[in-house]
């Protein structure tokens, strides 16, 4: 990514680009916009694009890193800032300037690694550092996902280099679903006042600095862009996405979402396999016309 320029210049450029915007759709990727194979068929892209215009735009809020998010954003293309790493960073996809980011403290990342080693968890341990992401795991532990490919380092978590724990915005831990809630509570007990731990995809925990969520990043992004939250719809499938629901007027859970996320949503649309985002956008635009 390019180096940041002054905040005033960034904000002025973004607001000028979005001057005609009246409605904004914010969608998660995995389990929401993407199908169960993490694919986005071009036919589906074209159907959504037919509903978009200078007045109606869409953006992405994902747990993925920016390079992965941009591959999907470019297919529409999206010119509204995108939320990545579960809210730890917001990037303008046009200029590639970072307009917001929050880091975990080095000793927090180290404490998480030491806990995984002490408890002997069989997991994939991802560190997001700038545009780079590395997966640490024991040699006998499989890769649980290839949704966002990363270099793999075999380790028992005790010898992760110090420099790998500096300027980390997000940690992801992927392991068997049966151990997920247990690990979540252990980390909250260990570092609860310094981290935010959220369930993301099945078998995945996202860990960010305290106060960092997709919701907090969305609020910041809307403020920067000068967008009224009452004209925004957020769509998702899990706890991380549900943090956006208190920020906007229209909140939508896909049919495959967990029960908690559904309970927080204004309404439930079809699943990610049945074009739930497309149907939600149509309902959102109809509701706005009737207001």
Cis peptide leading into residue 266 (ω within 30°):
no
Give Cα 163 to chain centroid, integer Å: 25
Cβ burial 39-70 (10 Å sphere, 16+ → b, else e): ebeeebeeebeeeeeeebbbbbbbbbbbebbb
pTM beyond 0.85: yes
Give Cα 173 to chain centroid, integer Å: 15
Nearest partner of 152 among 163, 168, 141, judged by Cα: 141
Give Cα 110 to chain centroid, integer Å: 23
Supply the pLDDT for residue 5.
45
Cβ(258)–Cβ(277) under 8 Å?
no
Cβ(1)–Cβ(97) under 8 Å?
yes
Give Cα 25 to chain centroid, integer Å: 14
Supply the pLDDT for residue 290.
61
Supply the pLDDT for residue 289.
65
Say if strands 267-268 and 195-199 run parallel, antiparallel, or are unpaired.
unpaired
Say if strands 170-174 and 204-209 run parallel, antiparallel, or are unpaired.
antiparallel
Beta bridge partners of 127: 134, 171
Supply the pLDDT for residue 201.
79
Contacts of 135 (CB under 8 A, 6+ apart): 124, 125, 126, 143, 150, 151, 152, 153
| Average pLDDT for runs of 10 along the chain of length 291 | 59 94 97 96 98 98 96 97 97 93 96 95 95 94 89 92 95 95 96 93 92 97 95 97 97 97 97 98 84 57
Q: Vertex 23, ends 74 and 43: CA angle to 5°?
A: 40
């Amino acid at each position: 990514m390019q180096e940041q320029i002054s905040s005033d210049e960034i904000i002025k450029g973004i607001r000028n680009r979005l001057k005609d915007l009246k409605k904004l759709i914010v969608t998660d990727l995995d389990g929401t916009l993407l199908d169960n194979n993490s694919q986005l068929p071009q036919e589906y892209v074209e159907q959504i694009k037919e509903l978009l215009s200078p007045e109606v735009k869409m953006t992405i809020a994902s747990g993925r890193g920016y390079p992965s998010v941009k591959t999907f954003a470019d297919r529409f293309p999206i010119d509204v800032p995108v939320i990545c790493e579960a809210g730890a960073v917001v990037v303008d996809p046009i200029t590639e300037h970072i307009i917001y980011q929050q880091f975990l403290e080095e000793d927090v990342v180290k404490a998480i690694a030491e806990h995984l080693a002490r408890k002997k968890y069989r997991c994939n341990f991802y560190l997001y550092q700038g545009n780079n992401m590395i997966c640490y795991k024991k040699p006998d532990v499989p890769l649980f996902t290839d949704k966002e490919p990363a270099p793999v380092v075999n380790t028992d978590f005790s010898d992760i280099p110090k420099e790998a724990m500096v300027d980390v915005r997000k940690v992801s831990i992927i392991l068997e679903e049966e151990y997920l809630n247990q690990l979540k509570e252990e980390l909250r007990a260990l570092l609860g006042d310094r981290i935010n731990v959220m369930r993301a995809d099945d078998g995945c925990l996202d860990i960010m600095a305290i106060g960092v969520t997709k919701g907090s990043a969305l609020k910041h992004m809307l403020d920067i862009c000068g967008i009224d939250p009452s004209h925004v719809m957020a769509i998702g499938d899990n706890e991380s996405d549900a943090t956006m629901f208190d920020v906007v007027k229209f909140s939508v859970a896909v049919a495959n979402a967990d029960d908690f996320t559904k309970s927080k949503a204004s309404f439930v649309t079809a699943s990610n396999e049945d074009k739930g985002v497309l149907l939600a956008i149509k309902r959102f635009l109809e509701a706005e016309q009737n207001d």
